[in-house]
Every structure is written in C-alpha cells, then in structure tokens.
Amino acid sequence: MASPQKLKLILPEIIIPTDGELRSGLKVEKSLIEGLGLFADRDFKTNQVIWSEPLKGRVGRPESDGPLRWANHSDNPNSILLLGADQIPAATASLIAIRTILKGQEIVYSYGVFGHTGYFKTCKCGEPNCQGVFILREEWGEKK
C-alpha cells in the first residue's frame, strides 16, 4: 500500500512590505459586520502582506493591540491569516491579501480556515455563502 502524500500549500511569491509600510495603511473604524473592524487606508495587491506580528505565549497569541485584533470574520474573505510560510518566520502571524483590497474596504478573513477553537457566535458577514456561525478565537482570549 502506498503511503499517503502530505498536502503542501503552494503559495505564489508573497509581497513583503518594509517595516514602515507595515505600520501604515491600516485603520480601525466602525464595521458593518460587527463592532469595530480593520480597514485599508491604502490599496493592497493580491499576495501582499497586510500585517505581520510575532506570536506570543504557549498557543500563539498575537499582541492584543495589533491590527489582527480588529480583523472581522467573513465567509467571503479578502485576506488569509498564515502562521509562517516559506518566506515568513514560523513564529509570525501574517495577514495576506488574497485579492486586491482597495482603500476604504474592510479587511476580513475566515476564522474557520485558520482553525480557531472556542465558542460559536452568530455570523453577521451578510455574504450569500454565510454559514451562520463562526468560532470565537478562544486561544487569543476572546470570550462569549
């Protein structure tokens, strides 16, 4: 019997901005999805790193005041959260645009793809493919 093959995620070349660019281009504003959200204050190209931050603690908890704290869940995300990648250190959480994000658009990712564990919460993303619920990021300290 043949051994199972491991699935390898093949990513296109990731566009890694400079430190100065990582600290600009984002803002937190009222979200139509839920509470406050993370918004683009400039355009982001497909495959561009929007934000990267070091993981903290045993489970890998991004710093609580970093932009990832404000990125809402959507069942039609415009970004993906990766823990390390070929060009990104393993101890880093990075939000990467999976399509062009224009200035003023909310930056969202699917919490389910990342594999969060925690409590189910009603999803308000409003997308046609909405699953109706998502999982709070309990490992990052989110509560019911």
Per residue in 7-23, pLDDT (tens digit) is 444 455 656 555 555 55
Cβ-in-10-Å burial (0-12, 13-18, 19+) of 99 comes to exposed
Q: Look up the CATH number of the domain holding residue 94.
A: 2.170.270.10
Instruction: Of 43, 38, 44, 37, give the one whose Cα is nearest residue 15.
Output: 44
The range of the structural domain enclosing residue 98 comes to: 19-115
Global pTM? Answer: 0.72
Q: Sort residue 104 into left (φ over 0), alpha (ψ -120 to 50) or beta.
A: left
**For residue 129, is it within any domain?**
no
**For residue 8, is it within any domain?**
no
Identify the band that residue 114 occupies on the pLDDT scale cut at 50, 70 and 90: low
Task: Between 39 and 63, name the one with better pLDDT.
Answer: 39
Identify the band that residue 39 occupies on the pLDDT scale cut at 50, 70 and 90: very high
Number of folded domains in the chain? 1
pLDDT average, residue stretch 51-66: 59
